[in-house]
């Protein structure tokens, strides 16, 4: 809207949207029969994520079939921006990830997102733009951040003080700004969304604690010990996301002139502060 675009928000059920956004009830995209004539561009950010124990066919229904149905609904001239996932590169790729890095999905969620990309490319050709965001930071964001906020709020000591890693994140507002840039006709076909500066898990926790106005109680427990406990509890994927490194460099985004609105620590503090306001 700030960029001068008229915005319609697709929703499964009738609901209230931010001022200036007209609602459009789609129903379940996996079964919906839609026509989206009259739109210059469609941004598809809906999908299934952050679930455990979900069969591959459920991932495919929500992330592949629904994307196909939406692509069929748009006019033959409309641009289509698909919000995918940086998880397509795996959980802990070696080196720095860019748009040139080969895909290597390691779970069914990432596989379904890659399959959706490939299917949409077949259907839409040059009209498709793919955005692969890193873990998104913002008020009420999903993933490990809500769990860390809960532990910090309770004043519990966290055994992550010895972790020496670097992970990429991106602010939700920066994702929105980059999506707007990708509406341009000459935008690249594939763009990564990640803050140029990654952050370590201990520094992430410190930023969240500042946002909550609570102390960050970090204990220097050896990372190898944490790994053993994670394996026993069957939480290796969570441990990898907290202890491993994942650095993404947004080459194409920076070339388009995109820059984050704030540093990553400030984004994390802002997300935590929003939770503080709600919880009281």
pLDDT per position as a tens digit, 221-245: 999 999 998 899 888 888 888 999 9
In the structure, what pLDDT confidence band is assigned to residue 280 with cuts at 50, 70 and 90?
very low
Token pair, residue 19, equals 């001022």
- Please tell me the pTM assigned to this model: 0.92
pLDDT digits (tens, 9 = 90+) for 30-47: 887 888 888 899 999 999
Alpha helices, DSSP H only, in the chain?
Answer: 56-60, 66-73, 108-124, 145-153, 172-181, 201-212, 223-233, 236-243, 251-255, 264-279
In terms of CATH architecture, what is 1-133?
A: 3-Layer(aba) Sandwich (3.40)
Displacement of CA 81 from its chain's centroid (Å): 14
Lowest mean pLDDT among 168-172, 252-256, 271-275: 271-275
Per-residue confidence (pLDDT) for residue 279, from 0 to 100: 53
Token pair, residue 246, equals 């994942």
Q: Using DSSP, state whether 204 is helix, strand or coil.
A: helix
The partner residues of 43 in beta bridges, in order of sequence, read 81
pLDDT digits (tens, 9 = 90+) for 156-192: 999 999 999 999 999 999 999 999 999 988 899 999 9
**Maximum average pLDDT range among 55-69, 82-96, 266-280:** 55-69
Handedness of CA 148, 153, 154, 156 (dihedral sign): positive
The fold of the 139-168+196-248+261-280 domain, in CATH, is UDP-galactose 4-epimerase; domain 1 (3.90.25)
Residues of the chain with CATH 3.90.25: 139-168+196-248+261-280
Is the pLDDT confidence value at 261 over 80? yes
The partner residues of 135 in beta bridges, in order of sequence, read 169
Residues of the chain with CATH 3.40.50.720: 1-133
> Which residue, 29, 17, 88, 94, is CA-closest to 62?
29
The partner residues of 83 in beta bridges, in order of sequence, read 131
Separation of alpha carbons 53 and 48, rounded Å: 13
């Amino acid at each position: 809207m700030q960029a001068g675009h008229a915005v319609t928000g697709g929703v499964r059920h009738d609901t209230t949207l931010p001022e200036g956004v007209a609602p459009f009830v789609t129903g379940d995209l996996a079964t919906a029969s839609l026509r989206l004539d009259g739109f210059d561009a469609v941004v598809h950010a809906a999908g299934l994520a952050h679930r455990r124990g979900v069969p591959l066919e459920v991932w495919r229904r929500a992330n592949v079939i629904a994307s196909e149905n939406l692509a069929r609904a748009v006019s033959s001239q409309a641009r289509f921006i698909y919000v995918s996932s940086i998880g397509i590169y795996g959980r802990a790729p070696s080196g720095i990830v860019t748009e040139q890095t080969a895909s290597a999905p390691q779970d069914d969620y990432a596989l379904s997102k890659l399959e959706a990309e490939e299917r949409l490319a077949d259907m839409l050709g040059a009209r498709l733009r793919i955005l692969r965001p890193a873990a998104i930071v913002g008020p009420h964001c999903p993933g490990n951040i809500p769990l860390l906020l809960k532990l910090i709020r309770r004043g519990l000591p966290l055994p992550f003080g010895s972790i020496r890693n670097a992970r990429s994140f991106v602010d939700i507002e920066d994702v929105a700004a980059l999506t707007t840039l990708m509406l341009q006709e000459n935008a690249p076909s594939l763009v990564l969304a990640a803050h140029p500066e990654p952050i370590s898990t201990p520094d992430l926790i410190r930023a969240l604690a500042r946002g909550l106005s609570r102390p960050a109680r970090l204990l220097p427990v050896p990372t190898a010990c944490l790994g053993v406990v994670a394996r026993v509890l069957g939480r290796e994927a969570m441990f990898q996301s907290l202890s491993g490194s994942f650095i993404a460099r947004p080459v194409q985004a920076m070339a388009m002139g995109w820059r984050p609105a704030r540093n990553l620590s400030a984004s994390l503090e802002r997300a935590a502060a929003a939770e503080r306001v709600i919880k009281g």
